[in-house]
Amino acid sequence: MLRKETNFLMLILISMICFSCMDKPDLTKIELDEYVVQNSLKNKELRKQLQSHYEKLVLEEQDVVSPMLLFCSWEIDPVMYISQDNRRMYTHYFIKKQEKVNARSDISQEIVGMQQNGKWYFLEGAVTYTQRSAYKSDSKIPFTFEEMSYLANRNLFKRIVSHRNGEYKVSKDFFANRLKELDHSNPKGDSIFLARVNKYTPKRANVERIRKNRIRMQNEKPREMDKESLFQKIFGEPKVFDSKEWKKRRLEVVK
């Protein structure tokens, strides 16, 4: 009987050790920080132009943008992937749903850009709603923009960015593959891209409806959070943003 209890305790101990080893961000976070620093000057003007592009759309209250851009905090991703010929761009913008009382997710929106005759044109791709509870213990608190950037780029970065001789380079095939539906491998693809951009007719969003939805979200009665069981706390998925490794990395970056 004692032997069975000992084996059971050993199994729990080994499992806890294994899960504790998993509860940390991988080296991609360090590489992402280095990539942003290395390309900050190169991408500064384009990021500024993209920021101005969306600020203009929000200011004019155009319905081409997500309604949440009109009243939620948002930011352009500092991680930008640009082709070697500087004619293709891929990044994200992030929205924190801090004004929605019962929100349990935040938003990541893909942005694709193409340059023609010195002018950049932008289209939006897929949108992702990321559940906070999968990565942090308190799902009432929105992700920080840094956390959203890490989640949006950690797997993509590994696939398309190589690191050689101290320099990061984006795969030549990435833009062709990612924008395959637009056939960007030939001039016709450029025409299709521009046609989609020019197809949009500027018009104001229904601001009154958005305002009413905003008030409704602010006045929602807070729901009780789902509580983790003891089993989940011991054997559940690790919460990367609660880990000591993530917090330690943050302190190093701030310094």
Going from N- to C-terminal start, the domains of the chain cover: 31-222
Question: Residues near 205 by Cβ (< 8 Å), separated by ≥ 6?
Answer: 61, 62, 63, 65, 67, 70
Which DSSP string do the residues of 171-200 spell out, in sequence order?
Answer: -TTHHHHHTGGGTTTSHHHHHHHHHHHHHP
- Tally of CB atoms within 10 A around 78: 20
The model's pTM is 0.75
Tens-of-pLDDT digits for all 255 residues of the chain? 445 445 544 444 444 444 444 445 566 778 888 888 888 877 888 999 899 988 888 877 776 667 778 788 899 999 999 988 888 889 999 999 876 667 889 999 998 888 888 888 888 888 999 999 889 888 888 999 999 999 999 889 988 898 888 888 888 888 877 666 554 444 444 555 555 566 555 566 676 776 777 677 767 776 666 566 666 666 666 688 888 878 776 655 544
